[in-house]
Amino acid sequence: MKAIEDIKLAPSILAADFTRLGEQVAEAERAGADRIHVDIMDGHFVPNISMGVPLVQSLRKVTNLRLEIHMMITDPDFFLDEFVEAGSDSFIVHWEGNNNLHRTVQRVKALRKQVGVAINPATPAFVLEEILPDLDQVLVMTVNPGFGHQPFIYTTLPKIKRVSRMIGQLKPGCELEVDGGIDEATAQLTVEAGANVLVAGSSIFGANVGVCAAMQRLRSSISSNGLILRDGQQFHLNKERLCS
């Protein structure tokens, strides 16, 4: 019998209206979001500065969803403890620029949190081979990290397929997440390539139809009947919620 998995949506608050952040996160939760994706940037690893520990503390007060911390920072090990204390549930660290990736991954696991590794568009899939058995998820960046509202890089699709095959061979059950330029035109392509978690910012929080309707629109772009067939496997979308 073939595996049945959920296609999960991870709204990225980088594109949210921060004057209404709690309200928009609550709406995403009601609409069936699987987790909230939080981009942490330090201005060194990427040329931008974004959120920190106080924001995660505030988010923890308004949602029960998993808070997924995408650490686009230099030396993430130095900041893990305070993000855990703030209420973080999982961490994604980058392969690029990490002096000892195995140590970082084991550090997160010792904190009893889920851990993933992200790779940038120009980083080949094979760098994951040694670390993949230790991971709960892999994140393939489909834009260069650091800014929202970027166009999808279509040349990452073959890499998503390669990572999907690696997961099947080395760590079945590991999530395959994509981040960057995910909208109604690109979501289906990433699912067909093997992704089962879609990070979306502008197409959810930047849409003029509201968060719930935007999430339903994104789901509809993946499948008109809620079922995707891929490589002989059935992949079901998380159940849609009615927008109030």
Please name the amino acid found at residue 178: V
Tell me the pairing of strands 114-119 and 137-141: parallel
Catalytically annotated residue among 34, 39, 136, 183: 39
Find, among 56, 7, 58, 59, the residue nearest to 33 by Cα.
7
Residue appearing with tokens 């686009």: 72
DSSP string, 92-106: EEESTT-S-HHHHHH
Instruction: Please give the angle made by the CA atoms of 164, 170 and 171, to the nearest 5 degrees.
Output: 75
Tokens for 84, please give them.
Answer: 């855990």
Catalytically annotated residue among 34, 75, 136, 179: 179
Write the CB contacts of 184 (distance below 8 Å, at least 6 apart in sequence). Answer: 203, 217, 218, 220, 221
CB 197 within 8 A of CB 176: yes
Give catalytic status of residue 39 as yes or no: yes
From CA 53, how far away is CA 84, in angstroms rounded?
Answer: 9
DSSP string, 102-165: HHHHHHHHHTT-EEEEEE-TTS-GGGGTTTGGG-SEEEEESS-TT-SSPPP-GGGHHHHHHHHH
From CA 146, how far away is CA 120, in angstroms rounded?
Answer: 11
Give catalytic status of residue 134 as yes or no: no
Residues with catalytic roles: 39, 179
